[in-house]
Structure 1
Amino acid sequence: MKKNILITGCSSGLGLALTNLYLQKGYKVFGLSRKKPPIENKDFEFKQIDLSKTLKIKKLLEEYLLNIKEFELVYLNAGILGEIKTLDLLSLDEMKEVFEINVFANKEILDILAKCKVEKILAISSGASINGSKGWASYSLSKAGINMLINLYAKELINTKLYAIAPGVIKTPMTDYIRFEIDEEIFPSAKRLKEGEIQTPKEAAQRVDKTLEKLETIPSGSFIDVRKI
């Protein structure tokens, strides 16, 4: 029997690269996102869902995921950046929009997965969750939130290993926006991203997958930066 993997945000970026990687490895991949990725594979099963509608997630996903029953691996990958701006210009509504997808949607999915048999859950976090950068408030706070959410669930889902993992900087429309559209004189992080290491989604997916080999010695609930292990 093929092993099951669940990937949220499977239609682009790291999520799409992870989906393709595990299909190539012969896994059965279940993908969740708003848009269907351009994948035609008998081992790929797609379910359309808007994870920003957090109050509908359990109604739309619970029966579906419980019918699958078992997952070797889950990637909670779906997330958004939000607009880069100073805190005085950032509204609560803008922050809530980012938190809905980056934190609250994952809480709802984790509640469902608690009723399934799951070996490992990896929530995609970011170095921004540790290193606050000017203008990144919504993203940094939400990723710090997912780190703690994983830490807390690890104390309750004792039969599952959970980790928050920062995959490093990936070339996506999100990072292109920061590198090429943000004024680096106002927001120094834009310059750092331009000058630092950047991976393709495929490279990042392979790097994250290789990190799985090192997780056995790392306590469940930990935050991991792939660049530091």
Structure 2
Amino acid sequence: MGAKMKNILITGCSSGLGLALTNLYLEKGYKVFGISRNKPKIENENFFFKAFDLSKIDIIKKELTPFIKEINNLDTVFLNAGMLGEIKEITKLSTKEIQEVLNLNLFANKELLDILATIKVDTIVGISSGASKKGSKGWGSYSLSKSSLNMLLNLYAKEMINTKLFAIAPGVIETPMTDYIRFNIDDEIFTSAKILKDGEIQKPFEAAKRLFQALERKNKFESGSFFDVRKI
């Protein structure tokens, strides 16, 4: 394949959906560039890793611009790194706690998009959530951050006219985050936890495959739009 190998960039590549996407694209013969705090146990000559904590938003441009600009031509970027924040009533949630979630789920992606806007990128996917559209009790920080991410990608789509940008909800995935909700949250108080327990839970590799298949139909969707893989 040589020079024809396509480049993929994935944030939060060390676990969950990010790790599953990394493995899927490597299996399909892509070059994968990964950014996360911890290096996944992947031995592959087409995997290029940069260790970085994306919650350090003030130094993202300084630390990651050289790594990203060197790739220069990206087929697909997955802005996947994120956090849930604590499940609790919004009245008991401090602005500091909300800010922590916004830093990683929203502002880190703003910094990354600024870098990506300076190079050739075909498609950028922000990993969103059904929680971005539905306000459920207890999910305050997460819902605020993901609804803001949807709008952030919509706004960048107006300026990055040669790139397709999407906010995509991948469905519920079996990860430490959803395990925490399913096994530690009182579903009498937070009814959304019961819905999660009773609903469909995908293995990360299943979610990655669904996302890959959804992107094969990306030309059906307008740049800047949100969609849920379960509803297409």
Range of TM-score over shorter length: over 0.9
Q: Does 1:3 align with 2:6?
A: yes
Q: 1:123 & 1:147 partners in 2: Cα distance? A: 8
Q: Structure 1, residues 167-203: CA drift from partner, whole Å, max 9, x if none?
A: 0000001001111100001000111011100100000
Letter of the 2:166 partner, please give it: Y
Q: Residue 220 of structure 1 aligns with which residue?
A: 223
| Residue among 170, 176, 179 paired with 1:176 | 179
Letter of the 2:203 partner, please give it: T
Q: 2:221 & 2:136 partners in 1: Cα distance? A: 27
Residues 1-229 of structure 1: pairs in structure 2 closer than 5 A: 1=3, 2-229=5-232
Q: 1:65 & 1:191 partners in 2: Cα distance? A: 41
Instruction: Give the match's secondary structure for 2:138.
Output: coil
Q: 1:15 & 1:189 partners in 2: Cα distance? A: 24
Q: 1:66 & 1:33 partners in 2: Cα distance? A: 17
TM-score (norm 1): 0.99
Unmatched tracts of structure 2, length 5 or more: none
Q: 2:73 & 2:116 partners in 1: Cα distance? A: 9
Moved >3 Å (runs of 4+): none
Q: 1:86 & 1:98 partners in 2: Cα distance? A: 15
Q: 1:18 & 1:205 partners in 2: Cα distance? A: 5
Task: Give 1:6 deviation, angstroms.
Answer: 0.1
Unmatched tracts of structure 1, length 5 or more: none
Task: Give 1:66 deviation, angstroms.
Answer: 1.0
Q: How many residues align?
A: 229
Task: Give 1:63 deviation, angstroms.
Answer: 1.6
Q: Percent same amino acid among aligned pairs?
A: 67
Task: Give 1:161 deviation, angstroms.
Answer: 0.2
Instruction: Give the match's secondary structure for 1:155.
Output: helix
Letter of the 1:104 partner, please give it: F
